[in-house]
Amino acid sequence: MRTITNHYHDAQVVDLGSRGKRGPYLEDGPYLVTQIGVAPCDPIPKTRMFVLRPDGCWVDFNAYACQGKPEVMDELVFPSIAEVMQTFSRLFGQPRVLDLPINEEGLKAWIERQAAGDPLQAAYAWAIEYRKRQRDKRR
């Protein structure tokens, strides 16, 4: 089991936007920063997928997935790669991991929804809705 770190080399930055295509409706971002591993202070080490939030805290992805509302995922993403790098530049020492509650029923429902389709496709569909919500906020 590998302990997560604050080093960008250990994380994966996922572009949920264009999927390599360009066009009027396909744009880069939002970006999700993930890392698989164990939290540094876990009393019982358990491998999980952690996500870096723009505030510099790492969280278990399942704490957000279990909520069943796509808009709660908005606080997990970065609108630009520059913001990803800026956040990493502020991270020093041991990662700060927030221990958020996980609703087991909600998590089970989310997992069942993913089994019925392509999770990556669902992430891209969420990204389209995310960009719409961001545009609406600016109006």
Give one DSSP letter per residue of 107-121, joined into a string. Answer: HHHHHHHHHTS-HHH
Question: pLDDT (tens digit, 9 = 90+) per residue, 78-115?
Answer: 989 999 999 999 999 999 999 999 999 998 888 887 77
Question: pLDDT (tens digit, 9 = 90+) per residue, 19-29?
Answer: 555 444 445 78
pLDDT: is 137 or 49 the higher one?
49
What pLDDT does residue 69 have?
85
What pLDDT does residue 26 have?
44
pTM summary value = 0.82
Question: pLDDT (tens digit, 9 = 90+) per residue, 55-73?
Answer: 999 999 899 888 988 888 8
What pLDDT does residue 118 have?
67
**CA of 45: how far to CAs of 15, 29, 37, 41, 77, in Å?**
29, 32, 9, 8, 26
Question: pLDDT (tens digit, 9 = 90+) per residue, 33-47?
Answer: 999 999 998 888 999
Structure tokens at 56: 């510099």
Give the angle subtended at the CA of 31 by the CAs of 74 and 83, to the nearest 5°. 95
**Would you kindly state where each structural domain of the chain is located, as residue ranges?**
8-138
